[in-house]
Amino acid sequence: MRLLILSHPPQVPSVRYRFLQLLPHLERQGIVAERIDLPRGSFSRLGLFSRGAEYDAVLLQKRLFSSWMFQRLRRVARRLIYDFDDPMIYSRQGGVVKLSTTRIGRFRRVVGASDVVVAGNPALAELAREYGATRVETIPTCVDLARWTPRTRPGEGTVVGWAGTASNLCNLLWIAPALEGRTLRVLCSEALAIPGVNVEFVAWEERNEPAQIGAFDIGIAPLPNDLWSRWKMPYKILAYFAAGVPVLASRRGAVESVIRNGVNGLVADSCEEWRECLTRLAGNPELRMRLGHAGRETVEREFGIERAVQKWKSILLDPPDAKPGWSQRR
């Protein structure tokens, strides 16, 4: 089976973790995928779309098009699958999140016309249904556990770690008062200065990511209280879990569908709660080990790469007449 994936460039985390790490596994299942960056110009895009008819299915990830351009893609794709792990109806620029009527229209169009919509978490799956999707599957972003060795000792409890993209560094600022007097290790492509906090910058490297995260004593995942965050479950939580690092995250959106407070991690809301939880974790190595172990068990049970591969296989290799969602358009 031949699959064309149209997406952002490979350095974008959702591309890297939702697809690139799956491709060798899918190929062993008989699914040969070609992933292509969507070009900027309309003419180049239309030329690329015309190739869609050469494939058994086209998978569009997180891109929204104008009506005429999307119709062109829909017309040539034998089967069209839409994958997303962000609330696509909102715009987010400079930390400001707004509901976008343009994006709503485009999102409604793509989920309504796709043969299958794949959402990154249950909340996003409900969003797709609300806007007209008829067949929706939920496939969380997964972890290739073969790369990750969980830590076997709790560490000193002094290094609070955060891993993420530069666009999300601002999330650390709203919990800055809770971090005062602590060492914060930032694993990212860019550094960040926070007054009163000893910030250690470590340049992210894909090959060293498991060891870099495994050196954290506490992994944090703060999210602001905005419309965007209400739908999110940061991938960094799963990475911390895989490394056996205890997790403290914001009580937002889909986070609590993964973290069971006090069982496999801790959640906090206000800066005061964050400060209390950090103090509790830093001073209790047994708690850090217990939560780290439970987090690792969670990712092994629910977010391993094998589960994602099997779900994608069932979607991609279902014959067109097996489910009413598959399109017969040529």
What CATH code is carried by the domain that includes residue 312? 3.40.50.2000
Residue 90 lies in a domain: yes
The Cβ of residue 304 has, within 10 Å, a number of other Cβ atoms equal to 16
If asked whether residues 163 and 113 sit together in one domain, one would say no
If asked whether residues 163 and 19 sit together in one domain, one would say no
What's residue 269's pLDDT?
A: 93
Alpha-carbon span 325 to 116, nearest angstrom: 7
Characterize the bridge pairing of strands 80-84 and 2-7. unpaired
Please report how the helices 67-76 and 101-113 are oriented relative to each other, as an axis angle in degrees rounded to 10. Answer: 10
Backbone angles phi, psi at 82, to 5 degrees: -115, 125
Residue 327 lies in a domain: no
pTM of the model: 0.91
Residue 328 lies in a domain: no
Residue 330 lies in a domain: no
- Give the chain's domain count: 2
If asked whether residues 84 and 110 sit together in one domain, one would say yes
If asked whether residues 76 and 138 sit together in one domain, one would say yes
Contact 246, 185 (CB under 8 A): no
**pLDDT per position as a tens digit, 92-125:** 887 789 999 999 999 999 999 999 999 999 999 9
Q: Which domain holds residue 32?
A: 2-142+305-317
List helix spans (H) across the chain: 13-15, 23-28, 42-49, 67-76, 101-113, 122-130, 176-179, 209-214, 235-242, 271-282, 285-302, 305-317
What's residue 254's pLDDT?
A: 87
Residue 109 lies in a domain: yes
If asked whether residues 120 and 196 sit together in one domain, one would say no
Residue 45 lies in a domain: yes
For the chain, residues with pLDDT lower than 50 are 322-330
If asked whether residues 293 and 312 sit together in one domain, one would say no
Characterize the bridge pairing of strands 136-138 and 116-119. parallel
Alpha-carbon span 37 to 53, nearest angstrom: 18
If asked whether residues 164 and 310 sit together in one domain, one would say no
Alpha-carbon span 233 to 252, nearest angstrom: 8
What's residue 319's pLDDT?
A: 55
If asked whether residues 96 and 232 sit together in one domain, one would say no
If asked whether residues 68 and 110 sit together in one domain, one would say yes
If asked whether residues 157 and 292 sit together in one domain, one would say yes
Residue 324 lies in a domain: no
If asked whether residues 278 and 248 sit together in one domain, one would say yes
Alpha-carbon span 80 to 320, nearest angstrom: 12
If asked whether residues 207 and 293 sit together in one domain, one would say yes
